[in-house]
Amino acid sequence: MAVLEKTQADKQDLKSKCDTWLRPPNMKIIHHNQIREKLCGTCDWIWSHPTFSAWNSTSVDPPAAERRLLCIYGTHGCGKTVLASSIIESLKMKGNCVLFFAFSDADISRRSLDDLARSFLAQLLQEPVPDESLEAMRDLISHGQPLTSDLWTVFKKITRSAPGLVYWIIDGIDESNESSDDILNQVVDLLNAIKGARAILLGRTHVLKPIQQANHAIEITPNLISSDIDSYINTEIDKSRTLKSPEIRDLASKTLHDGSQGMFLWVKLMISDLCRSSSGAETIQRLHNLPRGLQKAYQHLFFQLVEDLDNLDLRFAKRLLAFVIAARRPLKLEELQYAQALASKSDSKMSHELSLEAYIIEDIVGKVLRTCGSCIKITDGVILLSHISAKEFLTRPESEWSCNADRKISCLRIDLGESHSLFVSTCINYLEVGGYGFPLRDQDDMPRLYSVFPFLNYASKNLLYHINRAQESSADTVDKFDQFMRSKAFLSWIEYFIIHIYIEDEFCGLEPNELTMWLENSEEGAIKSLESHLRDHFEDIIQNLDEGDRRLDQYRMVIDILTESDSDESADSLSNYQTNPFNLTIRQSSNDIHQTIPMITEAFKQTSMLTAPKQFDLLLRLQQHILRAKALTDPLEFLFRLILRNAKNAPVYALIMIGDFYKTVGQLEKALQVYQSALAKFEKLEVPIKYTVLHLIGRIYSELGRFQESEESIRQAVEGRERIFGRNHTVTLFSLHRLGCALWDQSKYTEAEEILRQAVKGRRKILGLEHENTINSMALLGNSLYRQGKYSEAEEILRQAIKVQQKILGPKHEDTINSTAILGDTLCNQGKYSKAEELLRQVVEERQQIIDLEDNNILNSMVVLGKSLYNQGKYSEAEELLQQAVKGRQKILGPENEYTLDSMAMLGHNLLNQERYSEAEKIFQYVMKGRQKILGPECKYTLKSMACLGYSCYNQGKYSEAENVYQQVLNGEQKIFGPKHEHTLLTMYLLGMALAKQEKYGRAKELFEQAAKGQEEILGPNHHKTLSSMEWSSEVSQCLEEYTEEGEQMRALFD
């Protein structure tokens, strides 16, 4: 008996641990609150509905997954939530296992598929389950916090072993941060795997109606719930002495029924408004003027608030709505009391004279209901909006508040950015009140502190969440946080935040992601200020800790990391490593990698997934060793391999650190493998760090020259960050810029232009024009336009970029010089040679001072400068520069490189214009052979160099050689351009001249005539090239006649 009791106690203990570990929302309470709103006799229509009956019918062979899925949808406020709880209650009364989940936009623990999986698992474990199911959970717990896919795998395993049917009721699909397709696919996958399961999805029409996969769907129409609406109306009327009076009741019932359009929510709002009437006559007047539709109802109710409340109450109502709407999770009444008090104190002119307690509203419930009762509900001490539609109404973009009714209530419009800024100020103000105890000597102090200081839990845990979503570029928010960083209260918050990450939440990913987001968004100066501040105060922390405190070593390591110690690593061999048992408290040589390796080895032996404090310790140690390393030593490589072998169970940030180090030392393939291991930890999770890793992978692919793969990875990063942060968030724009780079690297200049225009627009809005990131995007956009031959647009963009680069980076910065070089080339291609020369001389001069003469960038600038000088007739100067460029490119790129041959061709043109034909001939012979080899004999650039070779020969009187070359050029151009292309016709003309010089007048005449005819068609009869061909045709015809006549005379002499 005792053994049996112990076994049962062990099982119960394991279930309790599972519940703590899963951290599910309490759906039991949520269901209980919802079912209380159901009226007797309502929702019964669902059981006689033919679609519901078909879905719920039993059969020997379970139907396909799609036939076990039912979608129920309708407009906002049509009773879906109460219907869901009614179905749950009825199914449970029949002895069925029913799992329930309701997504909620107002609660961060009820937004994702991961939240759904945790909740379903926790509920399932409350049912009678076999011992092997509990063992599956025990195994899952032993591996630390899991992937969502791991949760679903165990859920499938346990559900398959459950007896009888299992029902899943999932409400509020439209309030999830997952797409409806992702939720649907997950549910269908589960139904395919679990034949004894049925599922109901409930949500608003615009989300669920388009779904085609469900064979069963019910739309909640006004006719369908007409009797339920009447029951609700009559019940509410009975609660009002005025409305239930004989002379009003029938009118009220009919008016409310006709106006409801199937919305219980509208009826509730209207009855609340009618109950404000002070007489029967006033009630009747209101009944005759009820607003139609939910939007007009909200306009009417909020207008009443604006009219009825004085300035103080109106300010309270606005802040209340802002707090409720922007809160990361539903606020408790005590938290709201302090949030309101802090905001009021901050606004008050007497803030220094009165204590915070003086601003506390004792009857907070009465105040809330009196000011915002129609759109706020209070349940079990938690304050919520009455419906998500109220949030959607109040947070509409400003452009949608243009009608007269909206303008009257625009003072109540909620800007989410401003609301998050309000939270930032409120959280900081509370944290600065102080007196919470610092440093904490035991993590168990936190629950005690939270009970004594009601707003401390929310403020310490969610400050970064609100900072990351606060009003963009809000100077007040930035200044507020900067001042906070300088205070001692900041150190308390750091300690609380670390506890949230590594102890309370067991590295769940929420707070670390907020920290990562904040660091990515912060200016470099802010990060340096943070490091300096922490470094200055950590020594004070250490003085207050006992020598045996685990945090003592952690704080020392943080200091060491911040100071980036340069001490050398020991070079001892692996054989000298100690093998002491893992112990987080290290009193000596805490910086020695030879102690870290056996400790981590032992830790992974003891448990596959490191506990949160051990993960923290590992991250600190790893960061410290990496900062101290000057190269990839054998011990460091060994440590990396140890962690990578346990990648599935190691902290993702450890993998990122290792990948970053491999990248720093140039081992890109290893870095790529590590990043991919980090990415595998997330699979289908929608978390910010996932897209940070994808971005890093894209960068590595780019450095490896695998540009297509780089584009694919970074495009995923852009799409993911846009879903999480929005299009105009700095991290999204950062990836958007890198996507533009990846497209540019593939010569996809048109696509790059489109992406970079978006990046420039977003960065100018968020960061301003004079920010380095904005200018980087502008410079690359200008380069993309230049590559497409859009020289005028490129010039405009590049001039803007250079102006700011000179201001914020300086005229000698590499980026400024690069942009100036591209602008010079752009001007050159527009024929603005003098302006191009001026810029390019500066570029060459600046580059000669900072880089080697044989650097490819300076050689490029010299070639373009030479081209500008050449086009101005400054052949001597151009020749000197081009000679240097050719020599440099031959050395660093090779004699047969395409760019080397281009610069030689430019030099050849320069010699032709100086009538140095013999030298030019040698150069074009070389260029022609090189281009034939690397580009092919029929490439247009090869043919162009051959034409120049022909011209060189012609001008030396080598007409036969010129003829031979021109004929080859003509054959190639006719093939690639066609017989009537301008280039082809010019070559005909030149070949005709070479033939005429050899007195081959017949063939020459044919060519001149063809050239003249074609040029007349495409250039016009008066074009100089047309006229020249016609003139030569005439001269050759005359020579041909004279030659023919002379020939006849000679033949006559011999006859």
User: 2-220 has which CATH code?
Assistant: 3.40.50.300
Alpha carbon distance 33, 378 (integer Å): 11
Reduced to 3 states (helix: H, G, I; strand: E, B; else coil), residue 97 is strand
Ranking 637-641, 703-707, 994-998 by mean pLDDT, the lowest is: 637-641
CATH pick for 810-914 out of 2.40.50.180, 1.20.1070.10, 1.25.40.10, 3.40.50.720? 1.25.40.10
What percent of the chain has a predicted confidence (pLDDT) above 90? 27
Q: pLDDT at position 474, please? A: 63
- The arithmetic mean of pLDDT across residues 442-450, rounded, is 65
Q: What backbone torsions phi and psi does residue 937 show, to the nearest 5 degrees?
A: -70, -20
Q: Which residue has the higher pLDDT, 574 or 1014?
A: 1014
CATH topology agreement for domains 2-220 and 810-914: no
Q: What contacts 24+ positions apart, CB below 8 Å, involve 373-379?
A: 373/272, 374/269, 374/272, 374/273, 374/301, 375/269, 375/298, 375/301, 375/321, 376/320, 376/324, 378/333, 379/33
Task: State the pLDDT confidence band at 598, using cuts at 50, 70 and 90.
Answer: low
Q: pLDDT at position 261, please? A: 92
Task: State the pLDDT confidence band at 1, using cuts at 50, 70 and 90.
Answer: very low
pLDDT tens per residue across span 514-550: 776 676 666 666 666 666 766 666 666 666 666 666 5
- The arithmetic mean of pLDDT across residues 87-105, rounded, is 92
Please state whether the peptide bond connecting residue 439 to the residue before it is cis, i.e. omega within 30 degrees of 0: yes
Q: pLDDT at position 805, please? A: 86
Alpha carbon distance 39, 225 (integer Å): 13
pLDDT tens per residue across span 365-389: 999 998 987 889 888 889 988 888 8
pLDDT tens per residue across span 313-346: 999 999 999 999 999 889 999 999 999 999 998 8
Highest mean pLDDT pick, 254-263, 814-823, 877-886: 254-263
| Sequence spans of domains, the chain | 2-220, 225-278, 419-544, 547-650, 810-914
Q: Which residue has the higher pLDDT, 528 or 391?
A: 391
Asked whether the predicted pLDDT for residue 508 surpasses 50, the reply is no
Asked whether the predicted pLDDT for residue 617 surpasses 80, the reply is no
- Residues listed for the chain: 1055
- Average per-residue pLDDT in the chain? 80
Q: pLDDT at position 476, please? A: 75
Q: pLDDT at position 4, please? A: 44
Asked whether the predicted pLDDT for residue 571 surpasses 50, the reply is no
Q: What is the CA angle 505-507-513, rounded to 5?
A: 105
Q: pLDDT at position 662, please? A: 76
> CB–CB of 157/191 below 8 Å?
no
Q: pLDDT at position 499, please? A: 65
Q: pLDDT at position 583, please? A: 28
Q: pLDDT at position 468, please? A: 85
Q: What contacts 24+ positions apart, CB below 8 Å, involve 778-783?
A: 778/804, 779/805, 779/815, 779/818, 779/819, 779/822, 780/737, 780/740, 780/741, 780/744, 780/752, 780/756, 781/740, 781/753, 781/756, 781/757, 782/819, 782/822, 782/823, 782/826, 783/744, 783/822
Asked whether the predicted pLDDT for residue 65 surpasses 90, the reply is no
- The arithmetic mean of pLDDT across residues 904-933, rounded, is 89
Alpha carbon distance 841, 838 (integer Å): 5
pLDDT tens per residue across span 141-168: 765 566 778 888 889 988 888 777 899 9
39's CB contacts (< 8 A; 6+ apart) are 228, 231, 232, 235
Asked whether the predicted pLDDT for residue 172 surpasses 70, the reply is yes
Q: Which residue has the higher pLDDT, 397 or 433?
A: 397
- How would you classify the pairing of strands 216-219 and 331-332? unpaired
- The arithmetic mean of pLDDT across residues 391-400, rounded, is 91
* One-letter identity of residue 820: T
pLDDT tens per residue across span 181-213: 889 989 999 999 998 899 999 999 988 887 755
Asked whether the predicted pLDDT for residue 654 surpasses 60, the reply is yes
Asked whether the predicted pLDDT for residue 390 surpasses 80, the reply is yes
Task: State the pLDDT confidence band at 105, using cuts at 50, 70 and 90.
Answer: confident
The beta strands (E) that lie in 277-342 are given as 331-332
Q: Which helix (H) or strand (E) holds 379?
A: strand 376-379
- The arithmetic mean of pLDDT across residues 287-293, rounded, is 92
Q: pLDDT at position 606, please? A: 44
- The arithmetic mean of pLDDT across residues 593-601, rounded, is 52
- How would you classify the pairing of strands 197-204 and 166-171? parallel
- The arithmetic mean of pLDDT across residues 838-865, rounded, is 76
1035's CB contacts (< 8 A; 6+ apart) are 996
Alpha carbon distance 933, 247 (integer Å): 102
583's CB contacts (< 8 A; 6+ apart) are 599
What percent of the chain has a predicted confidence (pLDDT) above 70? 78
- The arithmetic mean of pLDDT across residues 569-578, rounded, is 29
Ranking 63-77, 317-331, 634-648 by mean pLDDT, the lowest is: 634-648
543's CB contacts (< 8 A; 6+ apart) are none
- With tokens 């279930």, the residue in question is 15
pLDDT tens per residue across span 696-722: 999 999 999 999 999 999 999 998 888
Q: pLDDT at position 589, please? A: 35
Ranking 24-28, 56-60, 159-163, 686-690 by mean pLDDT, the lowest is: 56-60
Alpha carbon distance 644, 47 (integer Å): 55
